[in-house]
Amino acid sequence: MIYLDNSATTKPNEEVMKSFHTAATHYFGNPSSLHGLGMEAERLLRKAREQIAELLQINPDEVVFTSGGTEGNNLAIKGIALQHQHRGRHIIASSVEHPSVIESLEALKQLGFHITYIPVDENGRVNPNDVKKEITDDTILVSVMHVNNEIGTIQPIEEIGALLHNYPKIFFHVDAVQSIGKVPISIRKANIDLCTISGHKIHGLKGTGILYVKKGIRLFSLAHGGGQEANIRSGTENVPGIVALAKALRITLAKENDTKRIEQLKIYIMDELKKIHYVKINTPETSSAPHIVHFSLPGFKPEVVIHALEEAKIYISTKSACSSKKSDISSVLEACGKSQAIASSGLRVSMSFNTTKEEIDGFLHTLNIVINKLAKVMR
């Protein structure tokens, strides 16, 4: 099997699974309980929070545990909007955000909030000056992802953060789901107020995630109850999953030096794809993440290509897994000004630190065979 859909989800690390099993087996108490089992679970939870804070170079009380990227983005955006609407009801976001951001913003529209989507260039990149132009006295939030989940573009979040430093009323949210461990990010340096991370994108478990909330920022809770997670996200904590998340984050960040090897594989893939007549590459050659290569095959149905590769046990995807079953047209490629033929025929290859050149060669060889067979049918 050749698995090249790591931006959708990653295979859990064996050490992560061991951590989960140990915590689930021996520390199964409710961390809110007053008895010994509960206190053991609470200590384990606190230790995991401290470890994650140290790894991200933030404070432990700035870590809010969530079920993943979608919940984190919803909590950050709706939490800010509902809590601070007396200060303003205008929100700015890029036009290439993840569906969990776009749909959260569209939901807020129904509550009377005004949303401005910033355009991007042909590479899917936001111009910080365009953000500045849209700021008004009513603006309370700017949300821009760090790495685009579809084509891999790296956004200038440090520049945007520096810009927003001059607007103390405006909060800055960054979706870092695709960048953690692959593209360096300093939450403090980038002046980020809220930052979303997902466990299953870094060889952790599905249903685990982190929302960084800068100390002093208040959010309107979307889950009221027992007051866990500093009254921001009530509900019994998933201690085994959180312990596994801490382990996954530690392992992933320790491998950041290996990104050069993945970057070389990305360059190799793009160079080889350029040799294939039908291929149009969408991932920018510069200022893009090391693990994502997105390309289009105009005239070919992407699902047909995917299933043909699957027959050879090679797994890639079309676009965001959260939107792959919706319209065939990629909203990201549309925002980049791509034609309908390109926007409707996109395919994404996404690697992990475990991906080998042999696997990439196997993918490229099979893709060539698949394209040639399908081209004959098209004729």
The CATH class of 2-9+257-378 is alpha beta
Q: Which of 321, 322, 364, 375 is catalytic?
A: 322
How far apart are alpha carbons 269 and 356 in whole angstroms?
Answer: 12
pLDDT of residue 34: 87
Predicted local distance difference test score (pLDDT) of residue 5: 98
Q: Which CATH architecture has domain 14-254?
A: 3-Layer(aba) Sandwich (3.40)
| Residue 16, burial from CB neighbour count under 10 angstroms (0-12, 13-18, 19+) | buried
- Cβ neighbors of 65 (< 8 A, separation 6 or more) are 49, 208, 209, 210, 229, 233, 237, 238, 242, 245
pLDDT above 60: residue 379: no
Taking only the tens place, the pLDDT of each residue in 203-233 is 999 999 999 999 999 999 999 999 899 989 9
pLDDT at 313: 98
CB of 352 closer than 8 Å to CB of 10: yes
Say if residue 324's pLDDT is above 70.
Answer: no
Which tens digits make up the pLDDT trace of 305-318? 999 999 999 999 98
Short-list 74, 75, 88, CA closest to 170: 88
> How sure is the predictor about 191, in pLDDT bands with cuts at 50, 70 and 90?
very high
Q: Where are the domains of the chain?
A: 2-9+257-378, 14-254
The answer to whether residues 346 and 319 touch, using CB atoms and an 8 Å cutoff, is yes
Q: Reply yes or no on whether 322 is catalytic.
A: yes
Q: Say what percent of the chain tops pLDDT 70.
A: 97
Give residue-wise pLDDT tens across range 46-92: 999 999 999 999 999 999 999 999 999 999 999 999 999 999 999 99
